[in-house]
Chains A and B, each alone.
Chain A
Amino acid sequence: MLDLNTKKIKKNAYRVTKVRGETASRIRVPGGLLTADILPIIQNIAETYGNGRIHLTTRQGFEIPGIRYEDMDAVNALLQPIIDKLDINQEIPGKGYTAAGTRNVSACIGSNVCPFANYNTTDFAKKMEKEIFPNDLHFKVAFTGCANDCIKARMQDFGIIGMTEPQYEKERCVNCQACVKACKKKSVDALTVENYRIVRNTEKCVGCGECVINCPTRAWTRSTEKYYRLVIMGRTGKRNPRLAEDFLVWTTEDVIIKIINNTYKFVENYIDRSAPGGKEHIGYIIDRAGFSEFKKWALDGVDLGDKTIVKGPVYWSGLHYD
């Protein structure tokens, strides 16, 4: 006769499924990048203890359904090399994943492969994993390499969109206008020509890097510093699904890490303790506490530097069903 503590099971990254007696093991892959040698381990678990099927999750993980609850210890033992290889923050070695509120930090393929990416999304995602895992609070963080936002960063509590500040060496420019055309047709039309040379409208420029990508002479290059647009409090859900809005533009890695860590403190302070499962989405907490109160907590002790533009007060729109 099964006698289970479902709360503990969920915290161990197993799902309570609709099928009586069967659970599903959830394997998080921070940053969405793994080495191929992990796949046979997943295959082995699915074929030995599951039903031979594997679900690819939206947040870049694997979910192995059809596992009997009594096999969880055996599965945890098989998961250990995956956890080691992925360098997951693990609470008790040998006891599987720790899971709770904070969701897998996901990332687009980034500058390892994609020509449009302005930074290594996987590296930043893994760094973020180290900062915030494991944690009971419901946080969704995702990294995307450029403004195309393939990871859907604007559907997250924190979306990090890569930017570069284009550097123009006018003496290398041949006025071919490849940058102007690319910016006009693929981005925000921030470039104009004056006396055969390019003028960048810094107010309009979104730092996508199209000018750099299309420049044939290296007149346009990337800034040494990596910049990011931090968008906040996007969400799906029943009441008020909405896209994340800009909070910081031209910000840096250190600032983003500090702000997300600060937000955990804000949530600890303002969360509705009576919320089901002790979980309440950050966005609804900010809706209740007010943006200015969130901002006060988020920017506590943060040195924004000279370049960062702070947006606010931030208002979200989206659909209201409540």
Chain B
Amino acid sequence: MGYQINQDKMNAILTELSKKYKIYGPRRYVGDGTFAHVDTIRYGEVTTLDDIEFKEKSNYSFKEVLLPISETLFYFTENEMKEADAPHSGAIVFLRSCDLHGLKRMDTIYLKNGAVDTYYKRLRDNTKFILMGCEDSFENCFCVSMGTNQSDDYDAYLKIDGQNVLIDSHWDLLDTALAEMPEIQVIPDAVSQNKTVVEIPEAIPQSVIDSPFWEDYANRCIACGRCNFVCPTCTCFTMQDIFYTDNGKAGERRRVWASCHVDGYTDMAGGHAFRDNKGQRMRFKVMHKINDYKKRFGTQMCIGCGRCDDVCPEYISFSNCINKLNTLVKEEN
């Protein structure tokens, strides 16, 4: 159902909802960027609509709400252990269409890929998603190429319209809160074209593994992992078992984001690493995003948010890599 409501009343509804849900949205963290006087837009708790950055793309995705960067899974001492409490028991997340498609990728990996991940599930189950529209494409976005520019499986769509807020609700709790408001038709803003267009190669031959194509990236990539950390579809983690220093008999197990570009990702006992070469790390990531995942789950993994291109300090473009790979595959066929 579509509604129109003024911002003050909507903020009052958010305040009411915040009693039951933690509300997360893209926030501007002033001066928090890599360089002096540079802001970061990343996910954090919000209390009013003013806290949410609607105008710019967030540098980091929403994924840390459901998959904390560092999450204690359980505490242990001697013969006992206790599962850690969940960071939240219910959440509302403001996000754009591309990220909402990213959520499906996370669900696939953590809920539909063999055993259900209980730590993910307990955060995911009671989380509602509010779509933020995109009137214009941002730099490096290629959502149209990936088919992620539109979404209809949101719990609500929200748009700031001057002093008013336009809402399309698919959520009964919100419908109840908005019952007195005038009903209007609200259609989410979505872009229909991006400046960046990618064409994903069909049927990439196995021989591409050994192609000199990746050597360029071997020289350019610095293995910082930023492309992975900003990506809403990168879901790898590693484990850390900690023994508290004052008491070696007690400790905790954490899971922490991992990156296939960062040193150590493929390290084995004895010191062997499968992909020392950074070009091979790029190959692994690219093939996973546009080939391997699809073979396994039927949809493309990459959602075209372009954050990897936004963030790479060495100006490596993932979208350009796909297009160059496409040309290469066509030539070889």
A interface list, Cβ under 8 A from B:
111, 115, 117-120, 145, 162, 164, 170-176, 178, 194-196, 209, 212-219, 221-222, 224
Task: Judge whether B224 and A196 touch: CB under 8 Å.
Answer: no
- Give the complex CA separation of A209 and B38 in angstroms: 13
Complex interface: stretch among B26-34, B91-99, B212-220, B283-291: B26-34
- Within 8 Å by CB of B35, from A111, A174, A218, lies A111
- Within 8 Å by CB of A176, from B37, B60, B245, B262, lies B262
Write the B242-278 contact mask toward A (1 if CB under 8 angstroms, else 0).
1101000000001011110011000000000000000
Task: Judge whether B242 and A195 touch: CB under 8 Å.
Answer: yes
- Give the complex CA separation of A117 and B263 in angstroms: 28
Is B307 in contact with chain A by the CB < 8 A criterion? no
Chain B residue numbers with a CB within 8 Å of A120 are 36-37
Size of interface on B: residues with Cβ below 8 Å to A: 28
Is B12 in contact with chain A by the CB < 8 A criterion? no
Chain A residue numbers with a CB within 8 Å of B32 are 218, 221-222
Chain B residue numbers with a CB within 8 Å of A173 are 69-70, 256
- Give the complex CA separation of A139 and B104 in angstroms: 64
Chain A residue numbers with a CB within 8 Å of B129 are none
CB distance from B240 to the nearest CB of A (A): 4
- Give the complex CA separation of A201 and B243 in angstroms: 22
Supply 18 A–B pairs (Cβ within 8 Å), ascending by A.
A111-B35, A111-B36, A117-B36, A118-B36, A145-B36, A164-B36, A174-B262, A175-B240, A176-B259, A194-B245, A196-B254, A196-B256, A216-B224, A216-B225, A216-B259, A218-B42, A221-B29, A222-B31
Q: Which B residues from 53 to 83 make CB contacts under 8 A with A?
A: 60, 68-70
Given contacts A111-B37, A115-B35, 19 further A-B contacts (CB under 8 A): A119-B36, A173-B69, A173-B70, A174-B258, A175-B256, A176-B224, A176-B259, A194-B245, A195-B240, A195-B242, A195-B245, A196-B242, A196-B256, A212-B34, A216-B229, A217-B69, A218-B40, A219-B69, A221-B40
CB distance from B83 to the nearest CB of A (A): 18
- Give the complex CA separation of A167 and B157 in angstroms: 36
Known: A217-B257, A218-B42. A174 touches B70 (CB 8 A): yes
CB distance from B34 to the nearest CB of A (A): 6
Task: Judge whether A217 and B229 touch: CB under 8 Å.
Answer: yes
- Give the complex CA separation of A121 and B56 in angstroms: 28
Task: Judge whether A213 and B35 touch: CB under 8 Å.
Answer: yes
Q: Which residue of A lies closest to B262 (CB)?
A: A176
- Give the complex CA separation of A217 and B225 in angstroms: 9
Chain B residue numbers with a CB within 8 Å of A172 are 69-70
CB distance from A115 to the nearest CB of B (A): 5
CB distance from A185 to the nearest CB of B (A): 13
Chain A residue numbers with a CB within 8 Å of B229 are 174, 216-217
Q: Which residue of A lies closest to B243 (CB)?
A: A195
CB distance from A215 to the nearest CB of B (A): 8
CB distance from B299 to the nearest CB of A (A): 27
